[in-house]
Structure 1
Amino acid sequence: MPGHDVNCARRIRARSPGGSSDALAEEIRSCCGHSPLKAYRLARGWTIEKAVASFHEMCVREGLGARGLTARSWIEWEREHLPSADHQDLLCRLLLTGPVQLGFARSYEPADGPTPPPFHKEALVAGAARESLAHAAAAQLTDVSTVTLEHADDEIRRLAAEYVYADPMPLFHRMLQLRGEIFALLDGRVRPAQAVQLTLMAGQVCGLLANASLDLGNQAAATAQARAAWTYASIIDHHALRAWVRGLQAMIAYWTGSSDMAVDLARDGKRYAPGTTAFARLAGIEALASAAMGVRTDALRALGGAWDRPASHDDLHDDVGGEFGFDLAKYSYLAAGTHIHLRCPENAIVLAEQAISLYQSGPPHLRAYGNEAIAYSDLAVGHLLNGDLEATAAVITRVLSLPEHQRIDGLAQRLNGVRLKVAGESRFHGCPQARALVERLEEFSFPSSPRELCR
């Protein structure tokens, strides 16, 4: 009822200026339906802030030691969340009453003991309504502001964009910091809609960490991070993130030599692909892995149908983009690798050159140096399969000039494959140019000192 607020408790105190705290508290509780602790606070005329301050003053005054009591904890106790035994004792001391009166303990007095207050139907119904409103008011409280969510979302977009072209190690540290901030927010007091946003962000940042872990050569860590990202996507049933993570898991499987698993993961991801971009990415990955298995028909079918879906967008691949995106350059890079596995050098050369041209002519912030470098290595293999050692060496020279931090693990694998092909071709035995190329590739793949990653 509207009259049962602090003013109601104030009127009860005014009617009985000399009344005991126990009697006033019982009348307030009976009339207004408040919890015992709140009734005792109101009987003294205290606000929550005043009650907390009085608590700390008592602890100092009586030499009881400092406590970490906050207004938030007091509010929870007034909602009948039981305090610890230590705090129960201190509250009894503060309010000069016992644990039974404060609702912390049960009374076992005989039936002929003090008569309980009369049952008031109106007070019970009104009290139940106030409890519902109090809980609803608490539910709308949150430790997360709109500004905080916007900052986290902006940082994820920056990381996704920068990962395409920047040194992965400094980005890895920023990802870890952002992940920690998101985890801390999720552990706090959040509204349901905010929890969904934060869970999506947790999945996105774990996905980026998985990508970085793979590029830095730790495939086990990449697998674990990708599994975490998949879990977050499943919690909120976010299909775009599910589709993207399945593609990432497929690439991890491909680079670890499990092409059959990569095909299964890419196909499973298609079930969740909400838009054209997500589907095309998974189709390109499926084609690459199918070709690595030697299944030519499946590889060509996947490549040919990659863009067959009607144009549609999703909030991850298209809106966030960057490392979460997929464009014609990436498609061409995957298609070139597919034709290398299928031993179709002419097609591989055309597609690799197309990928390189698209990366070089496009905006700098979309120039994925890792994919471009691997496209160069596929171009080199295409020339090698054609028997053109001079063209192969010219292409390899471009790759070997890459800065140290851009030599991702997948590139090292690709170039080691080129080295083995050159060394294994009988037609190149005894050729000084072939021997020099093998030596240069050995130096790249197996440097004399370990490559420094933790700068």
Structure 2
Amino acid sequence: MAARHPLSCAARLREQAGTEGQSVERTAAAIARCCEVSLLRAHRLARGWTLQQAVDAYRTMTQGTPGAARVDQDQLGIWEKNPTRRPRAQTIDLLCRLYETSAGGLGLSGDYTPAMNPQTANPRTAGAGHHPSTPGALQPAADALDQVLDQTRHGVDRTLARASVSPVQLDLLEERLLDLRRQYLVTAPIPMLGQILPELDELQMLAAERQPATVQMRLSEMTATLATLATLTADALMKLGRLRQSRAWYATARAAADDSTNTDLRARVRAQAAMLPYYYGPLSSAVTLSREARILARHRPGPTAAFAAAAEARALARNGDAARAREAIHFARDAFDRAPDGDPDDAFAFPERRLLLYLSGALTHLGDTREADRVQSRALTLYGDHPGIDPALLHLEHAICLAREQHLSEACRLATAAYLELPSAQRTDIVGARAHDVLAAVPARMRTTPSARELGEALALPTGAG
């Protein structure tokens, strides 16, 4: 990559543009092309603003604007340097207003290009002798080309959809969402959130626009999709240990699911939401949510019914209700046996390996270590080389069983390996909590042994939650 040009290069282009009467839009494009910077940064440089001046202008403009994001120099600099770190939809709108440009102009979205006489200058840019122009003046830099292509395509799609969202567009959106559900199984929480949130923004934009009745009906059906994305967001936040935000997103997911006519989805979201109180308490909430899910799914034998029963079994076992836990295990196995095969690479499917993960938790808490060992071995075989948090949780539960059978050194070594072999981005709070359970299963007098100390030192390392 070429070295970054000094600020004097942008100043020279800005001065030249003022002499030739070029617009801010053309000046920004020239700076982006010559200095190899993002279009967002180029627009700031085209006005001769420092980061602080841009932030000050943004804050002045957004005074009294409900919900306006608080932007500082660091955050604006991140957006300028990393095109994959996109602001939220409302902030993109505000940046378009600030720089008086369009989607192509910033490589984001929104259009506030002012329709004014070329001689009418904006007070913020009058000193440079520039005036705004149309998006057609854009000449993107090579390093920003992908960004511009994506945003221009999005702008074209939205233009075509002003009167109606086409069935093809909705089909493509559903395809992207299915792809996200597949990626979720192998992607660390933080980058996954970076992929989910823009899709949520787009879905909200589509649903907010007035559409013909047939399209609006389809969008109403896609409320179920909104519930799915909200659930994945809540789950990712839970894995990161961001409990307040996770609870809020699970509540949003349940509201969206309840607003749909999809009973299976209502059950699925509740079963998924039960994971948060299962790991972090209160356990009574985990039991209640999973039981609600099982009741909703009781007349629909299938993956969701198996999921709900397995979640209830795990919560009951951890809560000390052995008899009802074993009853729920039997129900989960029966429902799974009668369910059709699903896509094992879909985060909203419930393949055998996921069933066994839940049964592993239930059997571990019941103290049935022999059956838990059998279930864990089968599950790990099914996961194979599949990366992610679930296999690590299975190893950690096996370590808990070993500790309860007094194989303390082996338990600690297995837990340490399972924890440290995860990529740092996936070594999140939820994994750390389960690894601490292994250490808690070791008698206090034995926690000074080398293997126990090694596990404790591993758990003291920073997690991937930051």
TM-score normalised per structure 1: 0.62
Aligned residues: 302
Give the whole-Å Cα distance in 1 for the aligned partners of 2:465 and 2:365: 30
1:64-213 equivalent positions in 2, closer than 5 A: 142-190=163-211, 191-213=215-237
454, 457, 462: which one aligns with 1:440: 454
235, 246, 249: which one aligns with 2:270: 246
Question: Do 2:416 and 2:454's aligned partners in 1 also have CA atoms closer than 8 Å?
Answer: no
Give the whole-Å Cα distance in 2 for the aligned partners of 1:341 and 1:168: 27
Match of 2:359 in 1: 335
Give the whole-Å Cα distance in 1 for the aligned partners of 2:285 and 2:405: 31
| Structure 1 unaligned residues grouped into runs of 5+ | 1-58, 64-139
1:409-424 equivalent positions in 2, closer than 5 A: 409-424=429-444
Q: Report the Cα offset of residue 329 of structure 1.
A: 1.1
Give the whole-Å Cα distance in 2 for the aligned partners of 1:418 and 1:320: 29
1:11-30 equivalent positions in 2, closer than 5 A: none
Is 1:451 aligned to 2:460, yes or no? no
Question: Do 2:185 and 2:346's aligned partners in 1 also have CA atoms closer than 8 Å?
Answer: yes
Q: Report the Cα offset of residue 340 of structure 1.
A: 1.6
Match of 1:311 in 2: 338
Is 1:380 aligned to 2:399, yes or no? yes
Q: Report the Cα offset of residue 312 of structure 1.
A: 4.7
Give the whole-Å Cα distance in 1 for the aligned partners of 2:171 and 2:450: 54
Give the whole-Å Cα distance in 2 for the aligned partners of 1:250 and 1:368: 24
Structure ID, larger Rg: 1
Give the whole-Å Cα distance in 2 for the aligned partners of 1:288 and 1:334: 6
Give the whole-Å Cα distance in 1 for the aligned partners of 2:465 and 2:334: 41
Question: Do 1:230 and 1:242's aligned partners in 2 also have CA atoms closer than 8 Å?
Answer: yes
Give the whole-Å Cα distance in 2 for the aligned partners of 1:262 and 1:321: 25
Match of 2:248 in 1: 224
Question: Do 1:266 and 1:286's aligned partners in 2 also have CA atoms closer than 8 Å?
Answer: yes
Match of 2:415 in 1: 396
Question: Do 1:284 and 1:335's aligned partners in 2 also have CA atoms closer than 8 Å?
Answer: yes
Give the whole-Å Cα distance in 2 for the aligned partners of 1:407 and 1:237: 37
Question: Do 1:144 and 1:189's aligned partners in 2 also have CA atoms closer than 8 Å?
Answer: no
Q: Report the Cα offset of residue 446 of structure 1.
A: 2.3
Percent of aligned pairs sharing the same letter: 24
Q: Report the Cα offset of residue 210 of structure 1.
A: 0.8
Q: Report the Cα offset of residue 160 of structure 1.
A: 0.8
| Structure 2 unaligned residues grouped into runs of 5+ | 1-115, 121-160
What is the identity, as a one-letter code, of the residue corresponding to 1:209?
Answer: T
Question: Do 1:276 and 1:307's aligned partners in 2 also have CA atoms closer than 8 Å?
Answer: no
Question: Do 1:161 and 1:323's aligned partners in 2 also have CA atoms closer than 8 Å?
Answer: yes
Is 1:370 aligned to 2:389, yes or no? yes
| CA shift in 2, pair 1:318/1:188, >3 Å | farther
Match of 1:9 in 2: none
**What do residues 334-367 of structure 1 show as CA deviations (whole Å, max 9, x unaligned)?**
112112211222222222222112111xxx6xx3
SS in 2 for 1:387: coil
Question: Do 2:343 and 2:351's aligned partners in 1 also have CA atoms closer than 8 Å?
Answer: no
| CA shift in 2, pair 1:276/1:148, >3 Å | same
241, 259, 263: which one aligns with 2:283: 259
Give the whole-Å Cα distance in 2 for the aligned partners of 1:147 and 1:451: 42
Match of 2:238 in 1: 214
Q: Report the Cα offset of residue 439 of structure 1.
A: 2.2
SS in 2 for 1:323: coil
What is the identity, as a one-letter code, of the residue corresponding to 2:440?
Answer: L
Question: Do 1:143 and 1:185's aligned partners in 2 also have CA atoms closer than 8 Å?
Answer: no
Question: Do 2:427 and 2:464's aligned partners in 1 also have CA atoms closer than 8 Å?
Answer: no
Is 1:325 aligned to 2:349, yes or no? yes
Q: Report the Cα offset of residue 421 of structure 1.
A: 2.1
Give the whole-Å Cα distance in 1 for the aligned partners of 2:271 and 2:171: 27
**What do residues 175-224 of structure 1 show as CA deviations (whole Å, max 9, x unaligned)?**
11000000011110223322223312211111111111111111221111
Give the whole-Å Cα distance in 2 for the aligned partners of 1:312 and 1:335: 17
Q: Report the Cα offset of residue 390 of structure 1.
A: 4.0
Match of 1:301 in 2: 327
What is the identity, as a one-letter code, of the residue corresponding to 1:384?
Answer: A
Match of 1:50 in 2: none
Q: Report the Cα offset of residue 394 of structure 1.
A: 4.2
Question: Do 2:429 and 2:465's aligned partners in 1 also have CA atoms closer than 8 Å?
Answer: no
Question: Do 1:283 and 1:306's aligned partners in 2 also have CA atoms closer than 8 Å?
Answer: yes
Question: Do 1:349 and 1:383's aligned partners in 2 also have CA atoms closer than 8 Å?
Answer: no
Question: Do 2:200 and 2:226's aligned partners in 1 also have CA atoms closer than 8 Å?
Answer: yes
What is the identity, as a one-letter code, of the residue corresponding to 1:451?
Answer: T
| CA shift in 2, pair 1:192/1:267, >3 Å | same
Give the whole-Å Cα distance in 1 for the aligned partners of 2:428 and 2:308: 22
Question: Do 1:353 and 1:379's aligned partners in 2 also have CA atoms closer than 8 Å?
Answer: no
**What do residues 81-131 of structure 1 show as CA deviations (whole Å, max 9, x unaligned)?**
xxxxxxxxxxxxxxxxxxxxxxxxxxxxxxxxxxxxxxxxxxxxxxxxxxx
**What do residues 125-164 of structure 1 show as CA deviations (whole Å, max 9, x unaligned)?**
xxxxxxxxxxxxxxx9943122321222112111111111
Give the whole-Å Cα distance in 2 for the aligned partners of 1:305 and 1:453: 36
When the two chains are superposed, the root-mean-square deviation of aligned CA atoms in Å is 2.5
SS in 2 for 1:166: coil
